Amino acid sequence: MRLWLFRVSRWSPLLLAILVPALSWARSGGGQHYRSGREPSSRSSPSDGGGDLGGIIFYLVALTFQHPALMFPLIVGGCLFFYYYQRSRNPSASTQKAFEQREADLRTQVSARDVEGWVNTLKLKDPEFDPVPFLDRAKKLFMGMQLAWLRRDLSSVRPYLSDATFQRLKVQLKLMQDQGIRDALTDVQVLDAQIIGLDQSEWFDTVHVRIKAQMRDVDVPSTTTEAEALRAAQSAPLESFTEVWSFVRKPGAKTRIGENLYQGKCPNCGAPYAGGATNNCEFCNAVLNSGNYDWTLAQITQGIEHVRYYPTVDGLLEARKSDPALNIEVLEDRASLIFWKWIEAQSHGEAQRLSKLSTSGFLASLDADLSGLKRQRRRKVFLECAVGGVIARMFRPDSGSEYDEAHLEVRWSAKMGIGPESERPPSLPTVPQRWMFVLVRRRGATTNTANGMSTSRCPQCSAPLTDSLSTACDYCGIELSSGARDWVLQSAETIEAWNSREEDRFQAIAVKPGERPAADVITDVRERERLLYMMAAMAAADGVIDEREKKLLKLCSDRWAVPWAKVEMAMSAGPQLFDRLVPKGSPEAEVFLHSLVQMALVDGRIDKHERRMLESAALRLGIPERLQQILSGK
Ligand SMILES: [Zn+2]
Ligand SMILES: [Zn+2]
């Protein structure tokens, strides 16, 4: 009996895994813009234990005990039926949703004791801190943000957002406008808001809030009026999703009851604040979204992409010796701001949009790229662009110059392509991307702490950066692109290109047979998608994809839980899915092959199918001889 019980309890997660996707069929693929990658409701999460589904399972188990001979074949039959029914309907999409669902839950789950610990830590520094009003404000901002998003006017939420968050939403609205659509949403409701983490540094406290919410949401033509949009949204299905909102505030700032932006008051001096594009208090000149006085929204992440702990950043302590205020929060916001400006510049075909944020060298090469496309009457298209994370990786003094370097990884995704200026792009899959942005700043420069999380400001006079084409501040005239005072973009490249130059790091990531790769590599579905689409795009670029190779790609798509339909889309879209493909026979190709070997080694071994897949990939990458060497650990 014990054994039987054990088997039943082992079966129930499987049963759930089969039942759960069945409940979320109604989810449409539309409207996934700034919350692209949204996962279905976690109401039906297996870890919740309770709920309708739990009741059904319990009932089934009870029945099984009473009538084992009858129930066992029924359950098995039922499972098989569901399994095949699911497969016949939409096999990979539902598996992937279940994957993502589980992952989002895992990544955002915390215990009540953890939460109490974080709240107490904050109360030590700020006795008035109370999680209830704090979460109420988060909910209020969430609702305000949805309304601003629907109206395509962010001015009402501007003072609560870091500059990068604002830039991101602004660019996303613009990309939708270019696509000829707007997001219609209604029946927005916050189901739950919960503190799920506290990061502390010398410069900022960061509180992560998990928001579970639901809404009806659909894309409509951009010419639709607000009233029409609302009507259209009413017939859309009600969908649930989980997001993590990260708020930052300077340690030492205090909760001022009744005196914050939500009450229309400056959180520094208490004077009335009426809004305005500069985000400064007109009485005390405080930068309101700096995080220096009150909580500022620094990031919105999908539940599935929430990463709890980042590794330590190489070289940070060393870099702090000359700039004690140097901090990851501000730097990541700056990099995120630059990323969104970079997307904006490319989708408009105007490199100058980065003139105040990049070196003249970077600007010139981007301009050459974009002008080349323009001459051919072609353009780059980015749809549904989203950022999964901006992660500082290392600081390094550049030995050959007067500059320090900061290397930041940007995980993002978009449907991207290059096409004729006049045409709508064909249907493209959302492709995950991993890029490394290298920012530079002259050695000896220091962080302007008054600007804080308001990272789109002049480092000298603190005026907001304008959209003018000049490389200098429009107020005080200081040259910005030189990196003399603040971090500017020097290069942006794929993770493979970066890894192939950074020999030391590359050695660190390489995994030998018999070892298992790091957990975050395996669980990251975006990374699996990225590798598979790159393989498909490379195969397509070479011309013919024969049946044998198709079969191997199919094998990867099954094993890695990446929908086959999307891989097929990648094969037909080809090389335009990526900014560029991995060059054959290059060090980058070797880095890429290493990543594939890692993925195959997830279970600690490489079977004969996987070996065939790796051989075929090595051939495509132009390094067939390297596979054996990598596998034997050389
Ligand atoms: Zn003030
Ligand atoms: Zn200035």
356-384 per-position pLDDT tens digit: 999 999 999 999 999 999 999 888 888 88
pLDDT at 565 (0 to 100)? 87
Q: How many CB atoms lie within 10 A of CB 523?
A: 16
Distance 280 CA to ligand 1 centre (A): 8
pLDDT at 259 (0 to 100)? 84
Q: Residue 530's Cα: distance from chain center in Å?
A: 13
Phi first, then psi, for residue 242 (nearest 5°) are -125, 130
Distance 620 CA to ligand 1 centre (A): 61
Distance 205 CA to ligand 2 centre (A): 28
Distance 457 CA to ligand 2 centre (A): 8
Supply angle C-alpha 620, 385, 309, rounded to 5. Answer: 85
* Helices 564-573 & 91-108 angle (0-180, nearest 10): 100
Per-residue pLDDT for 300 more than 80? Answer: yes
Cα–Cα distance between 285 and 245 in angstroms, integer?
Answer: 27
pLDDT at 101 (0 to 100)? 64
Distance 357 CA to ligand 2 centre (A): 13
Q: What residue has token string 């105007």?
A: 350
pLDDT at 169 (0 to 100)? 94
Residue 559: pLDDT band by 50, 70, 90 thresholds? confident
Residue 274: pLDDT band by 50, 70, 90 thresholds? confident
Q: What percent of the chain has pLDDT over 90?
A: 41
Per-residue pLDDT for 353 more than 90? Answer: yes
Supply angle C-alpha 533, 303, 128, rounded to 5. Answer: 150
Q: Mean of the per-residue pLDDT values for the chain?
A: 81
Half-sphere exposure of 539 (CA within 13 A, CB side): 26
pLDDT at 93 (0 to 100)? 54
Distance 485 CA to ligand 2 centre (A): 11
Distance 259 CA to ligand 1 centre (A): 11
Phi first, then psi, for residue 415 (nearest 5°) are -90, 110
Residue 211: pLDDT band by 50, 70, 90 thresholds? very high
> Between 342 and 202, where is the model more confident?
342
Q: Which ligand is nearest to the CA of 290?
A: 1
Q: What residue has token string 């990099």?
A: 335
Per-residue pLDDT for 404 more than 60? Answer: yes
pLDDT at 178 (0 to 100)? 83
Distance 99 CA to ligand 2 centre (A): 48
Distance 199 CA to ligand 1 centre (A): 27
- Taken as a whole, the chain contains a residue count of 634
Cα–Cα distance between 411 and 390 in angstroms, integer?
Answer: 6
Distance 250 CA to ligand 2 centre (A): 24
Cα separations (Å) of 539 from 406, 470, 485, 559, 615? 35, 43, 45, 19, 13
Per-residue pLDDT for 222 more than 80? Answer: yes
List the structure tokens of 222: 């951009």
Distance 253 CA to ligand 1 centre (A): 14
Longest Cα–Cα distance in the chain: 84
Q: Which of 37, 146, 46, 142 is nearest to 432 (CA)?
A: 37
Per-residue pLDDT for 228 more than 70? Answer: yes
> Is the distance from CB of 340 to CB of 171 less than 8 angstroms?
yes
Per-residue pLDDT for 147 more than 50? Answer: yes
Q: Which ligand is nearest to the CA of 279?
A: 1
Cα–Cα distance between 589 and 586 in angstroms, integer?
Answer: 5
Q: Which ligand is nearest to the CA of 256?
A: 1
List the structure tokens of 170: 């602004």
Q: Which ligand is nearest to the CA of 269?
A: 1
E strand segments, 398-446 = 403-420, 431-442
Distance 149 CA to ligand 1 centre (A): 28
Per-residue pLDDT for 46 more than 80? Answer: no
Distance 472 CA to ligand 2 centre (A): 8
Amino acid of residue 176: M
Distance 293 CA to ligand 1 centre (A): 10
Per-residue pLDDT for 308 more than 80? Answer: no
E strand segments, 225-274 = 238-249
Residue 17: pLDDT band by 50, 70, 90 thresholds? very low
pLDDT at 314 (0 to 100)? 85
87-116 per-position pLDDT tens digit: 444 445 555 566 666 677 777 788 899 999
Residue 448: pLDDT band by 50, 70, 90 thresholds? very high
Q: Evaluate the CA torsion angle 75, 79, 81, 85 in order and state its sign.
A: positive
Q: Which residues pair with 479 in a beta bridge?
A: 472
560-593 per-position pLDDT tens digit: 888 888 888 888 887 777 878 888 988 889 888 8
pLDDT at 98 (0 to 100)? 60
Per-residue pLDDT for 24 more than 70? Answer: no
Q: Which ligand is nearest to the CA of 474?
A: 2
Distance 271 CA to ligand 2 centre (A): 25
Q: Which ligand is nearest to the CA of 356?
A: 2
List the structure tokens of 62: 């009870």
478-527 per-position pLDDT tens digit: 999 999 999 999 999 998 888 887 665 545 444 444 444 454 455 577 88
> Between 190 and 431, where is the model more confident?
190
Distance 461 CA to ligand 1 centre (A): 18
Cα–Cα distance between 539 and 571 in angstroms, integer?
Answer: 7
Distance 546 CA to ligand 1 centre (A): 67
Distance 142 CA to ligand 2 centre (A): 33
Q: 541: which residues sit within 8 A by CB, 6+ positions away?
A: 574, 575, 581
> Is the distance from CB of 166 to CB of 344 less than 8 angstroms?
no
Distance 340 CA to ligand 1 centre (A): 30
